[in-house]
């Protein structure tokens, strides 16, 4: 080695305390936690804390207006299992959460494929058709409430006018009718979300792939399955899981349209928890227990979603 | 303007040692090139100097100041990045003025310095453009201009030419050298390109696996590489290396490998004394193998070898020869007429031979 | 499609389905609008076709402003929406920046936690959260919503911004710091201007989600004058079984217009944010 001899630095004074503190604060891990602290403070206070408080409350008979309740163990959970309304609620939630999804997915996919074509006013239409997803659900549900009105429903009017039915239809009058009506309104609200998400995926499909497949003689349907579907599969799966979770934990639409009626036959978890815990008797413990019955299902769905998102990243 | 000293600097990322006990001194006004293969620690060494990485141990001096724990903004340096890192939302003028504004330099002074730098670099016309409206070469100039206006003590450059096309790179290389000589600012320049290193630096620091291999002038680096790594890294095509046995007799030392026997020039003999009877690694640069078509008899500095392949490059012809242990590349005349299979006489410039210890890989001579 | 541009097949396979979708998806809005403009006499006459408007009136809108608390609800909604959006954005920019930029132990774990927080629905928490709100003494105050909405806004916005910050080359910041900027200055003057589209997406999302929220508003601010538009409309304008459809629909229209306007102006930001949410989680 022919390095020139280096002037060695005299061993310096230890850093002053103030400079050491500054160095420590400006190091990346410390700065990272510092930056995240306001957000986490809010999440801890208003998400984690209530979550654990909810578990505690569900084990008591606390009611609205009284500061605390008695510890009752798992009684609320046990009572719920014996409650016919709750069992119906579970069934309704599954119907509402899972049956609507294939419709939303299929309609959304179809709409996305249509919007992926070139035509005039495409951007305007794309923007307009997302409206059901954008506007406050409670307010758009009011429009549906009127569309389902036993007397004023324009659907009834049209069907009567065409001579299909004799009298007005009670869209929300019976359990079956009401659930179908709820599902239709939910599909109406959710389809645009699927459409726009899938459309974004479609636009990522390389055009050359289509041309190559077309040259090889694949027709439109074959091309869809061979070229398009593999590319958008990730988006479709993730969107579907999101939609299931959100629908499963819905509240507004059912609250506005039926409030769980007629005769408590169309409740889902959210509305039943509200009725038990806040609205009716104000049995907070019972309401919290209803909510927490959702947790295992949500956790399972979230785990699947998380695993899928992870696998997509790599 | 100032000198820069790395004093036993080590940088560790978790378990990986990126820079290992680096000690080197850059003189005031010097153009020092840090060169080495990718992942050798040269960029990390530069980033430590910039303050973008906190050193694990050791100290760094700029001028008379220990800057080891000083944030980048207070080190009074300027850096040109490989991708130029021009602020996309600012005009060229604002890009160049940004650092001065942060330092609260008066407006007129900023204006004067920016215009002056723009004139030096010939980018006066571009001052109102945004970076995305510039070509690669123009962006490079702006990045340079941004460093110049700051009038820092040290320029740091991290492969600033590697994003340019070959022709522009050669041209810019020349301009950069002239600029540095003119401004006289201490410059530390990182590159993986040994041609850039050889042409630009007053001195070159070759690094490998975090360790400084040799710090020397381009000439010394080429003629007296300190070890096998430096010998093979510097020079293109690379130095031919093959094992030979050291034999003494008749008052001479000979290096023998298969059919090939070479006589060691008297000046180098003493250094080989310890290796008699053992194997060493012999290094011959391609230009030190002189290919002759003639049929002379073999002497102490000639060997006869068959031709494997001819690569005419225009200004020179690379002749691939079947050597005693694999291919030897010789640099031949531009219009040499040879065919694969021909056996040629090759004269070795034995005064330019290099030998290396096979264990330590350090140069013997 | 590569071929098949013949007009008849285009009509059959493109325009007809598109028209059906348009009718299905936009009819409820059409209905909302018509009813809000329809005189009561016409509304209750089941003989005439309800789909057309033969005469129109603005008295439902006037009723809304003169005889109900609607203006107050609108004010409440605006205060809560702006407050929650501002707070969430501030927290999310910092958190997204930390997650997207800094190398630190547990970074991945924190990212996952944020993602999971995004999946926790209000229906799971609203009962215990109502107790927390009471305990903190903010029940029936703006803070009740301004502080609770961020629980679903921060995870989403942080996730979105994290992805955005990662697209901005690190060298830009490093260069700024060498140029003389502190980390905060580099963040503010270099990173933020470049992340503006992402910040805008996050802002629009937070705005619409806050404006539209129903459950927390119903439970934490659902009494007296503190109602938001959705809660006030649903709870106060529906009295017993007497539906005042005209004012109801007028309120629905007015309550939807702000989000619709914001959305129409920034539709591309909205869509890119939405798909970022769907694709990246």
Predicted structure pTM score: 0.86
- What is the residue whose two structure tokens read 């439109």? A220
Determine contact: B102 vs chain C, CB below 8 A: yes
Q: Which chains lie within 8 Å of chain C at 3 or more CB pairs, if any?
A: A, B
Q: Match domain A84-313 to its CATH number in 3.40.50.460, 2.40.128.110, 1.10.357.10, 1.10.3720.10.
A: 1.10.3720.10
pLDDT (0 to 100) of residue A168: 81
pLDDT greater at residue C248 or residue A5: C248
Q: How far apart are CA B341 and CA B319, in angstroms?
A: 12
Give the chain C residue whose CA is nearest to the CA of B103: C180
Write out chain A residues lying below 8 Å of B5, CB-based. 6-7, 9
Q: What is the mean pLDDT of chain C?
A: 88
Confidence of residue B1 (pLDDT cuts 50, 70, 90): low
- B18-41 tens-digit pLDDT: 999 999 999 999 999 999 999 899
Give the helix/strand (H/E) hosting B144. Answer: helix B136-149
> What residue ranges do the domains of chain A occupy?
18-58, 84-313
Give the chain B residue whose CA is nearest to the CA of C169: B85
| Shortest distance, CA A26 to any CA of chain B (angstroms) | 9
pLDDT (0 to 100) of residue C277: 52
Confidence of residue B209 (pLDDT cuts 50, 70, 90): very high
Structural contact between residues A58 and A51, judged by C-beta atoms closer than 8 angstroms = no
Interface test with B, best of C102, C174, C180 (most B CBs within 10 A): C180
CB pairs under 8 A between B and C: 57
Closest CB from A143, A214, A274 relative to C32: A143
Nearest to B211, CA basis, from B4, B5, B18? B18
Q: How far is CA C119 from the centre of its chain?
A: 17
Q: Which residues contact A271 (CB under 8 A, 6 or more apart)?
A: A251, A254, A255, A259, A260
Sign for the pseudo-dihedral over CA of C25, C31, C33, C36: negative
Structural contact between residues B306 and B341, judged by C-beta atoms closer than 8 angstroms = yes
Write out chain C residues lying below 8 Å of B99, CB-based. 179-180
Rounded to an integer, the average pLDDT of A89-96 is 95
pLDDT (0 to 100) of residue C105: 83
- The first and second tokens of residue C120, run together, are 């926790």
Among residues 133-172 of chain C, which lie with CB inside 8 Å of chain B?
Answer: 169, 171-172
Rounded to an integer, the average pLDDT of A225-242 is 88
Nearest to C234, CA basis, from A143, A138, A279, A274? A138
| Shortest distance, CA A167 to any CA of chain C (angstroms) | 12
| Shortest distance, CA A265 to any CA of chain C (angstroms) | 19
Given its phi and psi angles, is residue B349 left (phi above 0), alpha (psi -120 to 50 degrees) or beta? Answer: beta
CA atoms within 13 A on the CB side of C198: 25
| Shortest distance, CA B87 to any CA of chain C (angstroms) | 6
Neighbours of B159 (CB within 10 A): 20
Closest CB from A6, A12, A26 relative to B25: A6
Rounded to an integer, the average pLDDT of A61-72 is 83
Given its phi and psi angles, is residue C224 left (phi above 0), alpha (psi -120 to 50 degrees) or beta? Answer: left
Determine contact: C192 vs chain B, CB below 8 A: no
pLDDT (0 to 100) of residue C269: 76
Cα dist. B224→A1, A102, C271 in Å?
Answer: 10, 75, 64
Nearest to A244, CA basis, from A105, A140, A134? A105
- The first and second tokens of residue B325, run together, are 């242990």
> Does the pLDDT at position B84 exceed 60?
yes
Write out chain B residues lying below 8 Å of C101, CB-based. none
Cβ B25–A7 below 8 Å, yes or no? yes
Q: Which residues contact A181 (CB under 8 A, 6 or more apart)?
A: A144, A148, A171, A172, A257
- C152-185 tens-digit pLDDT: 999 999 999 998 899 899 999 999 999 999 888 9
**Portion of chain B with pLDDT greater than 90, in percent:** 68
DSSP B326: E
Nearest to C158, CA basis, from C213, C106, C107? C107
Q: How far apart are CA C4 and CA C7, in angstroms?
A: 9
Cα dist. B245→A156, B248, B255, C50 in Å?
Answer: 105, 10, 5, 107
Interface test with A, best of C120, C278, C279, C280 (most A CBs within 10 A): C278
- What is the residue whose two structure tokens read 């007009």? C7
Write out chain B residues lying below 8 Å of A3, CB-based. 23-24, 212, 214-215
- C57-107 tens-digit pLDDT: 899 999 999 988 999 999 999 999 999 999 999 999 999 999 998 888 888
Helix axes C245-265, C229-236, angle to 10 degrees: 160
Determine contact: A288 vs chain C, CB below 8 A: yes
Determine contact: C177 vs chain B, CB below 8 A: yes
Pairing status of strand B154-158 against strand B77-80: parallel
Structural contact between residues A96 and A182, judged by C-beta atoms closer than 8 angstroms = yes
- The first and second tokens of residue A126, run together, are 């794309």
Give the helix/strand (H/E) hosting B197. Answer: helix B194-200
Nearest to A241, CA basis, from A92, A47, A104, A131? A104
> Does the pLDDT at position A48 exceed 60?
yes
Give the chain C residue whose CA is nearest to the CA of B150: C179
Count the residues in chain B.
365
Determine contact: A23 vs chain C, CB below 8 A: no
Given its phi and psi angles, is residue B84 left (phi above 0), alpha (psi -120 to 50 degrees) or beta? Answer: left
Q: Which domains does chain C have, with CATH numbers?
A: 3-57 (no CATH), 68-280 (1.10.3720.10)
pLDDT (0 to 100) of residue C1: 44
DSSP codes of every residue in A29-59 = HHHHHHHHHHHHHHHIIIIIHHHHHHHHHHT
Q: How far apart are CA B10 and CA B17, in angstroms?
A: 8
Provide the β-strand partners of residue B258: none
- B118-133 tens-digit pLDDT: 999 999 999 999 999 9
Give the chain A residue whose CA is nearest to the CA of B215: A3
Determine contact: C86 vs chain A, CB below 8 A: no
- The first and second tokens of residue C270, run together, are 């909205």
Count the residues in chain A.
314
Rounded to an integer, the average pLDDT of A22-30 is 79
> Does the pLDDT at position A5 exceed 50?
no
Confidence of residue B296 (pLDDT cuts 50, 70, 90): low
> Does the pLDDT at position A195 exceed 90?
yes
Is C89 buried (19+), middle (13-18) or exposed (0-12) by CB count in 10 A? Answer: buried
Determine contact: B360 vs chain C, CB below 8 A: no
Confidence of residue C46 (pLDDT cuts 50, 70, 90): confident
Cβ B98–C169 below 8 Å, yes or no? no
Q: How far apart are CA A169 and CA C134, in angstroms?
A: 44
Structural contact between residues B93 and B130, judged by C-beta atoms closer than 8 angstroms = no
DSSP B264: P
Strands (E), chain B: 4-13, 16-26, 31-35, 57-62, 65-66, 77-80, 154-158, 186-191, 203-208, 211-216, 240-249, 252-257, 260-263, 279-284, 289-292, 302-312, 317-323, 326-332, 343-348, 354-356
Sign for the pseudo-dihedral over CA of A59, A63, A65, A68: negative
CA angle A85/A88/A94 to nearest 5° reads 145
- CA dihedral C108→C109→C114→C118, nearest 10 degrees, is 110
Confidence of residue A1 (pLDDT cuts 50, 70, 90): very low
């Amino acid at each position: 080695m022919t390095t020139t001899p280096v002037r060695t630095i005299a061993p310096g004074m230890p850093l002053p305390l103030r400079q050491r503190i500054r160095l420590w604060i400006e190091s990346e891990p410390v700065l990272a936690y510092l930056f995240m602290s306001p957000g986490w403070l809010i999440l801890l206070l208003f998400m984690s804390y209530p979550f654990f408080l909810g578990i505690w409350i569900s084990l008591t008979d606390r009611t609205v207006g009284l500061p605390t309740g008695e510890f009752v163990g798992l009684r609320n959970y046990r009572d719920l299992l014996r409650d016919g309304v709750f069992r119906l609620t579970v069934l309704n939630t599954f119907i509402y959460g899972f049956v609507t999804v294939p419709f939303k997915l299929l309609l959304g996919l179809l709409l996305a494929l249509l919007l992926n074509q070139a035509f005039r006013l495409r951007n305007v239409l794309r923007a307009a058709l997302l409206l059901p997803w954008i506007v406050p659900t409670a307010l758009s549900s009011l429009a549906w409430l009127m569309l389902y009105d036993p007397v004023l429903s324009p659907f009834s009017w049209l069907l009567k006018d065409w001579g299909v039915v004799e009298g007005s239809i009670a869209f929300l009058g019976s359990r079956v009718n009401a659930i179908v009506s709820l599902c239709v309104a939910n599909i109406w609200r959710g389809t645009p979300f699927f459409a726009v998400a899938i459309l974004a995926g479609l636009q990522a499909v390389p055009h050359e792939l289509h041309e190559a497949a077309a040259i090889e003689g694949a027709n439109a349907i074959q091309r869809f399955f061979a070229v398009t579907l593999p590319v958008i599969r990730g988006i479709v799966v993730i969107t579907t899981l999101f939609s299931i979770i959100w629908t499963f934990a819905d509240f507004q639409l059912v609250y506005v349209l039926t409030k769980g009626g007629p005769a408590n036959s169309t409740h889902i978890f959210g509305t039943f928890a509200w009725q038990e815990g806040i609205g009716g008797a104000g049995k907070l413990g019972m309401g919290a227990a209803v909510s927490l019955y959702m947790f295992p299902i949500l956790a399972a769905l979230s785990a699947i979603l998380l695993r899928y998102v992870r696998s997509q990243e790599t | 303007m100032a000198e820069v000293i790395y004093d036993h600097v080590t940088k560790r990322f978790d378990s990986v040692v990126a820079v290992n006990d680096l000690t080197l001194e850059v003189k005031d006004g010097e153009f020092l090139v840090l060169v080495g293969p990718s992942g050798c620690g040269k960029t990390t060494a530069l980033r430590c100097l910039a303050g973008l990485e906190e050193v694990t141990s050791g100290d760094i001096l700029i001028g008379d100041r220990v800057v080891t724990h000083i944030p980048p903004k207070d080190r009074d340096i300027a850096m040109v990045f490989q991708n130029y890192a021009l602020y996309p939302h600012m005009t060229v003028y604002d890009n160049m003025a940004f650092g001065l504004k942060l330092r609260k330099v008066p407006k007129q002074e900023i204006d004067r310095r920016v215009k002056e730098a723009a004139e030096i670099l010939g980018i006066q016309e571009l001052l109102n453009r945004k970076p995305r409206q510039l070509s690669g070469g123009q962006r490079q100039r702006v990045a340079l201009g941004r460093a110049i206006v700051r009038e820092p003590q040290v320029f740091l450059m991290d492969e600033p030419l590697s994003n340019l096309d070959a022709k522009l790179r050669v041209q810019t290389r020349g301009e950069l050298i002239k600029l540095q000589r003119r401004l006289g600012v201490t410059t530390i320049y990182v590159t993986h390109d040994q041609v850039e290193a050889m042409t630009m630096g007053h001195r070159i620091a070759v690094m490998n696996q975090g360790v400084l291999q040799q710090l020397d002038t381009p000439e010394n680096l080429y003629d007296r590489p300190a070890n096998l790594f430096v010998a093979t890294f510097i020079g293109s095509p690379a130095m031919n290396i093959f094992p030979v046995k050291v034999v003494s007799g008749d008052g001479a030392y000979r290096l023998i490998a298969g059919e090939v026997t070479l006589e060691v020039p008297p000046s180098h003999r003493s250094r080989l004394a310890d290796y008699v009877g053992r194997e060493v690694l012999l290094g011959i640069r391609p230009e030190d193998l002189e290919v002759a078509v003639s049929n002379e008899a073999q002497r102490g500095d000639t060997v006869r070898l068959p031709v494997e392949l001819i690569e005419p490059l225009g200004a020179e012809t690379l002749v691939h020869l079947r050597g005693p242990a694999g291919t030897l590349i010789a640099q031949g005349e531009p219009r040499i007429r040879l065919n694969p299979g021909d056996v040629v006489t090759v004269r070795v410039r034995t005064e330019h031979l290099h030998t290396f210890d096979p264990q330590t890989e350090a140069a013997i001579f | 499609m590569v071929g098949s541009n013949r007009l008849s097949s285009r009509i059959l396979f493109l325009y007809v389905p598109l028209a059906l979708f348009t009718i299905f998806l936009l009819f409820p809005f059409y209905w909302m609008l018509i009813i809000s403009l329809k005189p009561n006499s016409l509304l209750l006459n089941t003989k005439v076709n309800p789909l057309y408007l033969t005469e129109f009136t603005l008295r439902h809108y006037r009723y809304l402003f003169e005889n109900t608390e609607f203006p107050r609800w609108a004010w409440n909604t605006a205060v809560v929406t702006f407050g929650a959006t501002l707070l969430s954005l501030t927290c999310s920019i910092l958190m997204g920046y930390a997650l997207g930029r800094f190398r630190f132990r547990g970074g991945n774990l924190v990212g996952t936690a944020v993602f999971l927080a995004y999946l926790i629905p209000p229906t799971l928490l609203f009962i215990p959260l109502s107790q927390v709100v009471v305990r903190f003494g903010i029940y029936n105050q703006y803070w009740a919503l301004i502080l609770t909405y961020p629980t679903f806004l921060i995870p989403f916005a942080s996730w979105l911004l994290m992805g955005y910050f990662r697209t901005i080359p690190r060298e830009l910041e490093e260069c700024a710091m060498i140029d003389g900027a502190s980390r905060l200055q580099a963040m503010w003057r270099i990173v933020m201007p470049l992340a503006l589209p992402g910040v805008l997406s996050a802002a629009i999302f937070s705005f619409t989600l806050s404006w539209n929220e129903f459950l927390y508003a119903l439970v934490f601010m659902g009494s007296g004058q503190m109602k938001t538009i959705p809660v006030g409309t649903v709870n106060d304008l529906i009295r017993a079984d007497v539906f005042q459809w005209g004012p109801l629909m007028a309120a629905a229209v007015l309550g939807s217009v702000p989000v619709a306007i914001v959305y129409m102006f920034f539709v591309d930001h909205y869509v890119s944010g939405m798909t970022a949410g769907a694709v990246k989680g």
